[in-house]
Amino acid sequence: MAVLKIRTYPDKFLKQPTKPLDNIDGQTQKMIDDMAETMYQAPGVGLAAIQAGFDQSVIVYDIAPRDEKRVLNVLINPRIIAHEGSVLSENEGCLSVPDFRADVKRYAQVLVEGVDRDGNPLRIEADGFLSVVLQHEIDHLNGTLFIDRVSALKRQLYNRHLKKKMKKS
C-alpha cells in the first residue's frame, strides 16, 4: 500500500464531478487500499477518490474512534436517494482544505445506495456523524467542497490565509 498525495483547495481537479466506476478489478482494489492507507495516515475519517487524484466515484471511510478497532468501509458509485431533516455539522473539516474548520448545514438523515469493493449492492440508512461523513464525501464526488457550503466571508478569509501562507513558502 502507498500513501497518496491529497489534492488541496483551490486545485481545479477537485471541482469536477467524478465518473461512475464500471469495472472493479485489481487496479481498483489497489486504489482502494492506497486510499485507505492515505486516509488513516492523514489522519481522517473519509476520503474520496478525487482527493487522491482519481476521477472515479469511490469513497472510503471509517468513523470508529481512533483508539478502537478500525473498520474500513468502501462505497463505489454512492448516491443519496433520500434525505430528511436538518442538522448543523459543527466544526467540520476536510483533508483537502487544511487549517480550516466551519459549521456546515447538512441533512440529519440520509439513505445512500452504492456497491462495496466486491460489487455487492449496499443500502445505508445513516444519521448523526455517519450521515455527515457520507454527505461530505459524496459532495466531493460531485465536485463540491465543504468550503463551498460556508459563507462567502468565511471563504474570503480562508483564501487570504492561503495567499499569506503561499507568500511565506
Please state, in angstroms and rounded to a whole number, the distance separating the CA atoms of residues 85 and 1: 39
Annotated active-site residue 84? The verdict is no
The closest alpha carbon to 139, from 47, 62, 4, belongs to: 47
**Integer angstrom CA distances of residue 152 from 12, 29, 37, 148, 158:** 18, 39, 34, 8, 10
CB 161 within 8 A of CB 169: no
Of 37, 68, 113, 137, the catalytic one is 137
Please state, in angstroms and rounded to a whole number, the distance separating the CA atoms of residues 124 and 138: 13
CB 114 within 8 A of CB 122: yes
Q: Which residues are catalytic?
A: 137
